[in-house]
Amino acid sequence: MQKNLTRLGGGLLAALLLSPAQAAGIATWNLAWLLDQASHSRWVAACNSVQWRTARELEQEGKAMPASLQGLPYCDVHNGLEYGREAKCKAELGEVYYQRPNQQASSCRVAPDLADWKQYERKLQGLREGFAALDKAGVTLVALQEVSNDAAVQAILPEGWKVRTTADMPGVPAMPQQIGVAWKPAGIKLDVASIKPLLELTLEGERPLRPGLTFSAKLNGKATGFLLVHLKAGCRSQPMDQTRGQTPNQACSALAEQTTLLEQWIDQRAGKRFVVMGDFNRSLLRERDSYGTKPLAQFGARENAVVSAMLPEWNDNQPEGSTVVVLDHLRKEGEGGDGLVAGSWHCGYTKGIDHVVISGALAADLGDGERIVRPMGFTLDGKPLAVRDPSVVAPSDHCARYVSLD
């Protein structure tokens, strides 16, 4: 698989991020626990009733989480603490640590949108501006992750757009992180009747994982299958068969199981046009660059094999015609490491895990044109979102990522 890099200077890069002019086509965006107003009100009331304590903290006190939190985010999901500073912030704030929405002035607060709906609306405004920018760039279909329901998404979409999420679909567990698809009927023909959840990806257990979402749409006038995903977090780059000491890594084990299920979906569509896109919680570009020069026969599905990596597992070409292509991401010249462009400072931690993967058949149909997945930078009230401003609600910890498949 050939590595494809795009290198840009700083001025041109900034212009592309904030004022995209190139038609994009499709995008993926994790919206960071997006709630509609009714769900937000229920969540705040339920978590206020337990002073925003975690389930583990309540268990230690002999208490249970309120039943009203069913299908809503955990109370510590935006726990108001900088990553890695929990112990220090607890010591600094004492009992007030639990009253997280009231800590807007503290250096420990990172999620002021918990405080009230008025602040949450600033997050929503940023998301609206992001969708408007995607629309202007020519995007007509967006894979969505971490949304509560259709109403939450519809409230931030441009005029004329539609949405369908897995919330309330038959068989889908009640959970705060649903996935979905938003599309512009004037720009893309999506077969609404074909939209179905892929329930196998939820796996088994006390805390089910997110389902997939499948449907068919016309790309360049030809029917193309889509699978939208939000895979298990916690195993971004290490081998999935790597243990933690003497015990299996549970996150990696779950992701390995999802990898095998996705391979079955891919293999059943050998030789057909399809797109798999979303939040993979996996550094597929690193996998591609590590394994891409080695014979595919060394990897891939084998009887009784332990799954170590995602992309090589899919690309064993068994059956013939089942290989896929991971589209490269925008990179900046002179950057250390992989050079991947975050899009906004707020998205730095999640760069490189939101992907667009296309089948070999679709890649062959599209030809040799350069296709780079680009981030859409955040704005608020039309201006680039300020960095490290405690009064600013970042729309998400993921930037939207879009690409043209013309």
User: Which of 224, 223, 215, 229 is CA-nearest to residue 145?
Assistant: 229
Find the domain containing 42 and state its range.
37-114
Distances (CA, A) of 95 to 50, 103, 111, 141: 13, 12, 18, 46
Average pLDDT value for residue range 6-19: 47
Confidence at residue 99, expressed as pLDDT on a 0 to 100 scale? 52
With respect to residue 308, please indicate whether it lies within any of the assigned structural domains.
yes
> How many angstroms separate the CA atoms of 221 and 237, rounded?
37
Average pLDDT value for residue range 7-20: 47
With respect to residue 175, please indicate whether it lies within any of the assigned structural domains.
yes
* Least-confidence region, from 119-133, 264-278, 305-319, 355-369: 305-319
Q: What angle do CA 56, 62, 66 make, to 5 degrees?
A: 70
Strands 243-244 and 247-248, sheet pairing: antiparallel
Q: How confident is the model at residue 5 (pLDDT cuts 50, 70, 90)?
A: very low
**pLDDT averaged over every residue in the chain:** 84
- Residue 119's H or E segment, with its range, is helix 117-136
Last residue of a domain, one of 75, 90, 114: 114
Last residue of a domain, one of 114, 141, 162: 114
Higher pLDDT, 105 or 50: 50
One domain for residues 145 and 220: yes
Q: How confident is the model at residue 54 (pLDDT cuts 50, 70, 90)?
A: confident
With respect to residue 251, please indicate whether it lies within any of the assigned structural domains.
yes
With respect to residue 206, please indicate whether it lies within any of the assigned structural domains.
yes
Confidence at residue 4, expressed as pLDDT on a 0 to 100 scale? 40
Does residue 93 surpass a pLDDT of 70? no
One domain for residues 77 and 11: no
Does residue 23 surpass a pLDDT of 50? no
Average pLDDT value for residue range 75-79: 70
Confidence at residue 296, expressed as pLDDT on a 0 to 100 scale? 43
The rounded percent of the chain whose pLDDT value lies above 70 is 78
One domain for residues 333 and 278: yes
For residue 179, what are the contacts with CB-CB under 8 A and spacing of at least 6? 143, 144, 145, 146, 147, 165, 166, 210, 211, 212, 213, 228, 229, 230, 278
CATH number for the domain harbouring residue 353: 3.60.10.10
One domain for residues 86 and 216: no
Total domain count for the chain?
Answer: 2
Higher pLDDT, 345 or 276: 276
One domain for residues 81 and 186: no
What DSSP designation does 159 have?
T
DSSP labels, 358-391: EEHHHHHHH-S----BEE---EETTEEPPSS-TT
One domain for residues 94 and 204: no
With respect to residue 2, please indicate whether it lies within any of the assigned structural domains.
no
Q: What angle do CA 233, 83, 145 make, to 5 degrees?
A: 35
Last residue of a domain, one of 65, 82, 114: 114
Average pLDDT value for residue range 155-180: 96
Does residue 342 surpass a pLDDT of 50? yes
Does residue 102 surpass a pLDDT of 50? no
Does residue 383 surpass a pLDDT of 90? yes
Q: How confident is the model at residue 139 (pLDDT cuts 50, 70, 90)?
A: very high
With respect to residue 1, please indicate whether it lies within any of the assigned structural domains.
no
One domain for residues 141 and 15: yes
Does residue 353 surpass a pLDDT of 60? yes
Confidence at residue 35, expressed as pLDDT on a 0 to 100 scale? 94
With respect to residue 75, please indicate whether it lies within any of the assigned structural domains.
yes
- The residues pairing with 163 across neighbouring beta strands, listed in sequence order, are 182
Q: What would the pLDDT profile of 223-272 be if each residue is shown by its tens digit? A: 999 999 999 999 999 988 877 776 778 999 999 999 999 999 999 999 99
Confidence at residue 248, expressed as pLDDT on a 0 to 100 scale? 77
Higher pLDDT, 276 or 66: 276
One domain for residues 20 and 60: no
Average pLDDT value for residue range 166-190: 96
Q: Is the N-terminal amide bond of 312 cis, ω within 30° of 0?
A: no
User: Which of 146, 11, 126, 139 is CA-nearest to residue 72?
Assistant: 146
One domain for residues 55 and 92: yes
One domain for residues 232 and 189: yes
Confidence at residue 79, expressed as pLDDT on a 0 to 100 scale? 55
Confidence at residue 285, expressed as pLDDT on a 0 to 100 scale? 93
Confidence at residue 89, expressed as pLDDT on a 0 to 100 scale? 67
One domain for residues 188 and 84: no
One domain for residues 137 and 182: yes
For residue 88, what are the contacts with CB-CB under 8 A and spacing of at least 6? none
Confidence at residue 69, expressed as pLDDT on a 0 to 100 scale? 86
